[in-house]
Amino acid sequence: MTKGNGEDPKPGSRMERIQQGVRKRTLLAKKKVQSITKDDVKSYLMRNAFVLFTVVAVILGVILGFSLRSYKMSYREVKYFSFPGELLMRMLQMLVLPLIVSSLVTGIAALDSKASGKMGVRAVVYYMSTTIIAVLIGIIIVVIIHPGKGTKENMHREGKIVQVTAADAFLDLIRNMFPPNLVEACFKQFKTNYEKRKFKVAIPPNDTSTVTSVISNVSEAMEALTRMREEIVPVPGSVNGVNALGLVVFSISFGLVIGSMREQGQALKDFFDSLNEAIMRLVALIMWYAPLGILFLIAGKIVEMEDMGVIGGQLAMYTVTVIIGLLIHAVIVLPLLYFVITRKNPWVFIGGLIQALVTAVGTSSSSATLPVTFKCLEEINGVDKRVTRFVLPVGATINMDGTALYEALAAIFIAQVNNFELNFGQIITISITATAASIGAAGIPQAGLVTMVIVLTSVGLPTDDITLIIAVDWFLDRLRTTTNVLGDSIGAGIVEHLSRHELKNRDAEMGNSVIEENEMKKPYQLISQENENEKPLDSETKM
């Protein structure tokens, strides 16, 4: 009897507890809403001024862009109109190079080799896992929706595609990891070019035609003995742009060496730390101009884009498919991964990244967004600087979730419009190639189109059909860049959570020098960190 009596009330009591909890929360929420004053609203607006300005700038940019389309502006007029946006891009790109080098060197030097090794392994495992998940999502979505149903005859083509072989592309990736000249790496990347060359091929001596020609004419005999064969050969070349991968590899190695030098390397460590601090203060200044720049970037791109009529049935379905795939990865997979590992609310973390995500939409470049991402993670989300300085530059260079998803999806879409049936082995090949190619995609606008050639070549699909999707790539590029930035940022949050014990141990060894540095009030710090709530506790204990 007692056993039965003990078991009966349990379901009811659980429900009652849940109901009581819900009531308490609703009452607390009501009290908070009722207790909000004008000063609270003002302080909230002041703290989130940048975010609000940036969001408003995007909305105004879209409205302004579509409003001006009816004026049919010339190419020159569009370029003049977009000039404020171009200035923002140039300002951000100006800071990327010193930011990558200084942040990586200081981040690695602040950790011992064991801690940085563990952090590096965690970051790489996260990057590979999320990229593979993104590729699988892209493949599943495109197979289910099947946007390439029909033929490609009526589809609009745009632009030209530069041919490249997969082997040369991967060799270029490795070559760029070890630049022979660091100064040149600041503005150039190695890229294999192709040119036609003629080779002499001797005719076998037993050929009867050569004997008759020698008898008839000596000059004819000489021509016949040597035939000219034309062949396309790879030759070393270069393209303009920061070789981020080479600088990342050098900075990591340099940081490890400085960290191992201890007192001898302190001067260099202080130099790069000061450089990083100075760059972040410059970022804070540029942020005042960012909303205006983003407004004109977006408005200019909308004015510049081709007639919306070219986005027909198949291309519209393809666009919707890519958007669905990116949304599943960015809104479901990444937040769920963050929650499962850290047991924290992912939306609070993502809320602190709004400015970086909106900047990614405006600039369409994960590298150009890097300074803003640093600011959001360190100041708003309070992520440890040693983590952000290591994870973000590496992530912006090699972690391209959105690009990987897009490449796998686009490759299967091109197969569908060509009525090309892919077997399981070819789909696996696409997934592996898309994962590898996304690592080689530089953090610059529309770099995914270049690496797309590698993915298509791997399964024998026509590379010229990339021109079918260029019409909508400018828009999708912004969405996949935003996904890339979100993936890098959530990765920093996850790596910090997993590395918290190593970071605490390092703090104890260094006499809490890093914590003291973080607690110093900085002039550029406009939004208080969450971990500042811990400061009063220290002062109370001292009292």
Question: At residue 493, does pLDDT exceed 50?
Answer: yes
- Token pair 């391209």 is at which residue? 400
Give 159's DSSP letter: S
Report the amino acid identity of residue 430: I
Question: Which range is least confidently modeled, 112-116, 265-269, 276-280?
Answer: 112-116
The beta strand positions in 112-260, using DSSP E, are 188-202, 226-240
Residues 231 and 358 in one domain: no
pLDDT in tens, 396-438: 888 888 888 988 998 999 888 888 888 888 888 888 888 887 7
Helices (H), 459-512: 470-498, 500-509
329 and 287 in a common domain: yes
User: What is the extent of the structural domain holding 163?
Assistant: 45-187+241-516
Percent helix, percent strand, percent coil in the chain, to nearest 5: 75, 5, 20
In a domain, 162, yes or no: yes
Do 202 and 251 lie in one domain? The reply is no
Compute the distance between CA of residue 93 and CA of residue 522 in angstroms, rounded to an integer: 24
Does pLDDT of 101 surpass 80? yes
In this predicted structure, which of 63-67, 292-296, 338-342, 455-459 has the lowest mean pLDDT?
455-459
Same domain, 233 and 324: no
**542, part of any domain:** no
Please tell me which residue, 498 or 50, carries the higher pLDDT value: 498
Are 78 and 194 within one domain?
A: no
Report residue 313 as tokens.
């049935």
Which of 88-102, 213-227, 504-518 is the least confident region?
213-227
Q: What is the pLDDT of residues 227-270, one digit of tens each?
A: 666 777 788 888 887 888 888 889 989 988 998 888 888 899 89
540 within domain boundaries: no
In terms of domains, do 338 and 267 share one?
Answer: yes
Map residue 370 onto helix, strand or coil.
Answer: helix
For residue 489, the model assigns a pLDDT of 95
Residue 524 has pLDDT above 70, yes or no: no
CA distance 500 to 385: 12
Q: Is the pLDDT of residue 483 over 80?
A: yes
Same domain, 331 and 233: no
Query: Is residue 2 included in any domain, yes or no?
Result: no
pLDDT in tens, 315-332: 888 899 999 999 999 999
Report the C-alpha gap between 311 and 181 in whole angstroms. Answer: 45
As a whole number, the mean pLDDT across the chain is 80
Residue at a domain's end among 240, 256, 283: 240
Bridge partners (DSSP) of residue 323 are: none
Instruction: Please report whether residue 18 resides in a domain.
Output: no
pLDDT at 532 over 50: no
Give CA 456 to chain center in angstroms. 22
Per-residue model confidence (pLDDT) at position 522 = 46
Among candidate residues 178, 123, 101, 110, the one with its CA nearest the CA of residue 370: 101
- At 168, is the secondary structure helix, strand, or coil? helix
As given in the structure block, the two tokens for residue 508 are: 């104890």
Q: Are residues 234 and 286 in the same domain?
A: no
- pLDDT tens digits, one per residue of 118-133: 888 999 899 999 999 9
**354 plus 218 within the same structural domain:** no
193 with 298, same domain?
no
In a domain, 530, yes or no: no
In a domain, 147, yes or no: yes
Same domain (yes/no): 446, 329: yes
Is 26 inside a domain boundary? no
Number of domains in the chain: 2
Kindly report the CATH number assigned to the domain that includes residue 119. 1.10.3860.10
- Looking at the structure, do residues 111 and 198 belong to the same domain, yes or no? no
| DSSP-assigned letters across all residues of 264-288 | TTHHHHHHHHHHHHHHHHHHHHHTT
Question: What confidence category does residue 163 fall into, taking pLDDT thresholds of 50, 70 and 90?
Answer: low
Q: Does residue 247 or residue 450 have the better pLDDT?
A: 247
